Amino acid sequence: MSRRLSNVYQAALKAYDKVNKTTMSGRDVEAEVLTKAALKLKECQYNWPENGQNDKLTAALNFNQRIWTIFQAELEKPENPLPAALKRDLLRLSLFIDKRTLEVLADPAPGKLAILIDINQNLAAGLRARPTPALVDKAAA
């Protein structure tokens, strides 16, 4: 991704963010921050050889880690309405994120970012998907 294209995309994302913040659901907010983290990591991956990359990489990893730390805290709350099995799986995933983040910080390599990017993008896509009414009715039954 060229720097110009990346800058244009980021400017568009910022404009979209301003309009969306007042109308977004919790799921939408979570999807948005996961997408933002994935974009930050992807930018580091594409621009790996540039000067100052270590600072950008550390900032992107820290941003991603903050998101996942918030998810961990929310998942551990007794009043969290998610099914126990889903909470357990998401907590395991968050531990993997923690481990991979430390691996990248200890021995940076652009290929190590791919799994973090993929997880964030896939989870964001799942959060943006809306369950069909038939599935919601079955889950409530």
Let me know if 106 is exposed, middle or buried by CB neighbors in 10 A (0-12, 13-18, 19+): exposed
Count CB atoms within 10 A of the CB of residue 40. 22
Instruction: Answer whether 124's CB lies under 8 Å from 31's CB.
Output: yes
Instruction: Answer whether 70's CB lies under 8 Å from 80's CB.
Output: no
How far is Cα of residue 47 from the mean position of the Cα atoms in its chain? 19
Give the Cα separation of 106 and 108 in Å (integer).
6
pTM summary value: 0.75
Q: Average pLDDT in the 48-54 region?
A: 78
Domain boundaries, the chain: 3-140
* Yes or no: domain 3-140 corresponds to CATH 2.115.10: no
Q: What is the pLDDT of residues 57-86, one digit of tens each?
A: 999 999 999 999 999 999 999 999 999 999
Which of 124, 139, 93 is CA-nearest to residue 13? 124
The amino acid that residue 47 corresponds to is: N
Return the higher-pLDDT residue of 119 and 51. Answer: 119
Which positions ≥6 away from 103 have C-beta within 8 Å? Answer: 112
- Which tokens sit at 139? 């889950």
